[in-house]
C-alpha cells in the first residue's frame, strides 16, 4: 500500500477513538457548591481563605472532575483572574500574595475581592456562584500558638518560684554528673603535666543557646585554670565567639585575682569553615600536646574527628552537645560526655549559685509535668478523647 494511504489509514484509526472519546463527556460537570471566602485567620494580612463543597461529579457521579480553578475579581461582575489550581478532592485554597507593593504577586490588605470556583473535567468546566466580598486583615495574636504560650508561662512560674526558694537559702540536692565531677581532676592533670588545656566552643552560631551555655562553662573553667596557673587555648570558629570568649576568660582571671596571667593571644580566630577549622584544631592538639580537651557546644559531623585525634594525642576529653546525632560519637570516643540537657545544667553544677540551682529545679518540675502530660495524652489518644490531644497541636 502506498505511503499516503497507509498514513491516511493510520489517521483514521487514531481519529475514531477520539470522536468516541469526546462523546461521553458532553455533559458538563456539576459546579462546586456553597463557596465561602473569608480573611485567613492568624496571618500577616495578605491572604484570603476559600472553602467550597466538592462538585457532585468529583469522586462520585460521572467522576469526571480532575481539578478546580480558583478565580478572583475586584467586583461581582468584574473580570475574573485565575489565582490557582487544586487537584480534585480538595475543597480548600489559601489565596496568598506578597506583602510589599513592588513585588509582582502583591496582595493588597484591606481591599474587597470576589471569588468563584471552576470545576474542570478535561476541557469542559462549570463555575460556582460568586462568593464575597472578603478582605485580608492581619491579626495581632496567633491563636494557633496558644499552647506554646501556656507552656512558656508555666515554665516561667516554676523558674520564679524556685529562684525565690533558692534565694531563701534552701539547700538543693543535685545528682552527680560524671563529666562535671571530672572537670577538676582533668584540669589538675594538665597542671601536673605542665601541658595546656584546649577548650572548643563548638561550631554553632555565637547566639546559639548551646554556644551561650559553652561560654558560661568556659567562664568557670577559666577561673580554675587561673588558680591552677595552667594555660588555656581557645581556638575560635567565629569572630564574635572569639570576642565573647576573650571577655569571658578575662573576667574569670579578674575574679580569680590573677588579671595579669590572662593571655589574650591564647584565644584566637582560626577560620569560619567547618573542616578547615577542624584540620587546624587537630594540628593544635598534636603539636601543643594539650593534656585536657573540652568540646562543649554545638557540634556536627566533625565531632568524631576531634574526639579521635584527641584520644590519639592521649588527652582526657570531656565533651557535651545538644546535637542528638553527634552524642553517640562523643559517648564512644571521649572519656566523659554531657548528654543533651546535661550541657545546659553544667554551668549550674560548676557555679553552684542558688539562682542557677533554682532554675535547674524548675527544669525538673517542667519535666515532671511533661511526663504526666505524656501518659495522660497517650491514654486520651487510646480512649479517643481527641479534644485533649488536639490541645497540644500547634497550628502554625
Q: In this chain, which stretch among 29-37, 71-79, 224-232, 387-395 interacts with another protein, using CB under 8 A?
A: 387-395
* C-alpha cell belonging to residue 355: 539562682
Q: Taking CB under 8 A as the criterion, which residues in 22-61 touch another protein?
A: 42-46, 59
Output the smallest distance, CB 75 to another protein, in A. Answer: 25
Q: Taking CB under 8 A as the criterion, which residues in 302-321 touch another protein?
A: 302, 304-305, 307-308, 311-312
Output the smallest distance, CB 199 to another protein, in A. Answer: 14
Q: Which is nearer to another protein, 81 or 312 (CB)?
A: 312
Q: Does 127 bind another protein (CB under 8 A)?
A: no
Half-sphere exposure of 188 (CA within 13 A, CB side): 5
Bridge partners of 124, per DSSP, are 121
Of 158, 111, 122, 131, the closest CA to residue 51 belongs to 131
How far apart CA 228 and CA 225 sit, in angstroms, is 5
Output the smallest distance, CB 12 to another protein, in A. Answer: 11
How far apart CA 348 and CA 135 sit, in angstroms, is 52
Q: In this chain, which stretch among 110-118, 187-195, 226-234, 328-336 interacts with another protein, using CB under 8 A?
A: 328-336
Q: In this chain, which stretch among 30-38, 73-81, 188-196, 375-383 interacts with another protein, using CB under 8 A?
A: 375-383
Q: Which is nearer to another protein, 114 or 215 (CB)?
A: 215
Q: Taking CB under 8 A as the criterion, which residues in 184-203 touch another protein?
A: none
How far apart CA 127 and CA 33 sit, in angstroms, is 10
Q: Which is nearer to another protein, 28 or 389 (CB)?
A: 389
Q: Looking at 28, 56, 161, 339, which residue binds another protein (CB under 8 A)?
A: 339
Q: Looking at 34, 112, 268, 314, which residue binds another protein (CB under 8 A)?
A: 268
Q: Give the containing element (helix H, strand E) for 125.
A: strand 124-127
Query: What DSSP letter does each residue of 224-291 carry, written as one string?
Result: HHHHHT--EEEEESSHHHHHHHHHHHHHHHHHTT-GGG--GGGEEE--SSHHHHHHHHHHHHHHHT-S
Q: Looking at 192, 240, 257, 314, which residue binds another protein (CB under 8 A)?
A: 240
How far apart CA 42 and CA 155 sit, in angstroms, is 25
Amino acid at each position: 500500500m502506498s505511503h499516503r494511504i497507509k498514513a491516511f489509514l493510520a489517521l483514521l484509526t487514531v481519529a475514531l477513538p477520539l470522536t468516541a472519546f469526546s462523546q461521553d463527556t458532553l455533559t458538563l460537570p456539576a459546579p462546586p457548591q456553597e463557596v465561602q471566602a473569608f480573611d485567613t485567620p492568624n496571618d500577616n494580612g495578605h491572604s484570603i481563605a476559600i472553602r467550597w463543597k466538592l462538585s457532585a461529579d468529583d469522586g462520585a457521579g460521572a467522576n469526571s472532575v480532575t481539578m478546580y480553578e480558583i478565580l478572583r475579581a475586584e467586583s461581582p461582575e468584574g473580570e475574573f483572574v485565575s489565582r490557582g489550581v487544586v487537584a480534585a478532592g480538595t475543597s480548600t485554597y489559601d489565596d496568598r500574595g506578597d506583602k510589599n507593593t513592588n513585588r509582582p504577586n502583591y496582595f493588597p490588605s484591606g481591599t474587597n475581592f470576589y471569588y468563584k470556583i471552576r470545576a474542570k473535567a478535561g476541557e469542559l468546566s462549570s463555575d460556582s456562584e460568586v462568593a464575597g466580598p472578603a478582605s485580608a486583615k492581619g491579626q495581632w495574636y496567633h491563636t494557633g500558638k496558644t499552647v506554646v504560650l501556656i507552656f512558656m508561662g508555666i515554665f516561667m512560674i516554676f523558674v520564679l518560684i524556685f529562684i525565690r526558694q533558692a534565694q531563701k537559702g534552701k539547700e538543693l540536692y543535685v545528682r552527680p554528673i560524671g563529666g562535671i565531677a571530672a572537670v577538676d581532676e582533668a584540669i589538675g592533670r594538665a597542671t601536673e603535666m605542665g601541658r595546656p588545656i584546649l577548650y572548643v566552643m563548638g561550631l554553632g552560631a555565637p547566639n546559639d543557646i548551646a554556644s551561650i551555655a559553652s561560654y558560661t562553662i568556659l567562664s568557670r573553667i577559666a577561673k580554675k585554670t587561673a588558680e591552677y596557673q595552667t594555660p588555656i587555648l581557645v581556638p575560635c570558629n567565629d569572630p564574635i565567639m572569639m570576642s565573647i570568649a576573650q571577655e569571658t576568660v578575662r573576667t574569670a582571671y579578674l575574679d580569680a585575682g590573677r588579671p595579669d596571667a590572662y593571655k589574650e593571644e591564647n584565644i584566637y580566630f582560626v577560620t569560619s569553615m567547618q573542616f578547615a577549622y577542624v584540620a587546624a584544631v587537630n594540628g593544635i592538639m598534636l603539636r601543643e600536646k594539650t593534656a585536657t580537651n573540652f568540646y562543649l557546644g554545638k557540634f556536627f559531623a566533625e565531632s568524631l574527628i576531634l574526639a579521635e585525634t584527641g584520644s590519639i594525642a592521649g588527652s582526657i576529653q570531656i565533651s557535651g552537645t545538644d546535637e542528638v546525632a553527634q552524642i553517640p560519637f562523643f559517648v564512644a570516643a571521649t572519656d566523659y560526655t554531657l548528654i543533651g540537657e546535661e550541657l545546659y545544667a553544667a554551668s549550674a553544677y560548676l557555679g553552684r549559685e542558688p539562682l542557677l540551682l533554682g532554675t535547674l529545679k524548675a527544669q525538673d518540675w517542667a519535666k515532671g509535668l511533661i511526663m504526666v502530660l505524656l501518659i495522660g495524652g497517650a491514654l486520651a489518644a487510646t480512649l479517643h478523647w481527641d479534644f485533649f490531644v488536639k490541645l497540644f497541636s500547634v497550628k502554625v
